Each structure stands twice: as C-alpha cells, then as structure tokens.
Structure 1
C-alpha cells in the first residue's frame, strides 16, 4: 500500500531544486540592493556634513578676520592714548 505517488515526489523535488536557487538569488540581490542604498544614504549624509563644516569654517574665518581688524584698531587707539599720556606727563 503506497501513500504517495512517485511521479508527484519527482515533480515536487524537481520543483524545489529549481525554485530554491531562484529564491536564494532573489534574497541575496535584495540584500545587496539594501546595502547599496544604505551606503548611498551614508555618503550623502557625509557630503551634507562636509558642506556644513565648510560653511561653518568660512563663517569662523570671516569672524576671525573681523576680530583681527577690531584688535588692530584697539591696539592703535591704545598706542595713541599712551602717547597722549606720555605727552601729558
């Protein structure tokens, strides 16, 4: 007494042999696609951070130039005050 049909077993195993590799390839490719998207997102974020850093550095340089100009002006004024005080003595 046979509970299974040999032809059905052959068709089932044959189908599995053909379907399983296709599923494995599809899963691997979807994983590779997800990794590529994540890497692209990381690179875009790094690029954005780099642009922010450059902007911040440019603003810092501008402010430093303004401070240097003010310091030069203050130094000239202090020198003028010192000369005036020396003349008064």
Structure 2
C-alpha cells in the first residue's frame, strides 16, 4: 500500500469512529430523556395515589365523626 491508500484507510476509520461516537451519544441522550419522562410519570402517579388516599381518609374521618355523634345522641 502506498501513502495515499493509508491516508484513505485512516480517514475511513476516523469517520467510522466519529459516526459511532455521535450515534452512541445521541442514543444515550434519548435514553436519559426517556428515563426522566418515566420518572416524572411515576412521581405524578404516586402523587395522585397519595392525594386519593388522603381524600379517602378524610371521608372516613367524617363518617366516623357522624357515627360518634349519633352514638352520643343515643346515650
């Protein structure tokens, strides 16, 4: 192989490495974004679950207070 052929081989390898690094970087950034979106969705679901649980507990407390009032009136 002469000098020009080696330059072509090196340039081809360099371009291949550059494209590989760029592709890996893009894929990694997309994956990080998807993970962040998934985490936000989980946090929103947990927040809704907590709010629903608190609302249910509040309803139960109101019913319990009503039952206690009825029992006090009966006594």
Scaled by the length of structure 1, what TM-score is found?
Answer: 0.73
Q: What's the counterpart of residue 33 of structure 1? A: 33
Q: What's the counterpart of residue 17 of structure 2? A: 17
**Where does the alignment leave 5 or more consecutive residues of structure 2 unmatched?**
none
Superposed counterparts of 1:28-67, under 5 Å: 28-67=28-67
**Where does the alignment leave 5 or more consecutive residues of structure 1 unmatched?**
76-89
- CA deviations 1:21-59 (Å, max 9, x no partner) are 111111111111111011000000001001101110110
Q: Counterparts of 1:12 and 1:60 in 2: how far apart (Å)?
A: 72
Indicate the RMSD between aligned Cα atoms, in angstroms: 1.6
Q: Counterparts of 2:53 and 2:39 in 1: how far apart (Å)?
A: 21
Q: Counterparts of 1:38 and 1:26 in 2: how far apart (Å)?
A: 18
> How far apart are 1:8 and its partner, in Å?
3.7
> How far apart are 1:73 and its partner, in Å?
1.1
- Greater shift in the superposed pair: 60-69 or 14-23: 14-23
> How far apart are 1:9 and its partner, in Å?
2.2
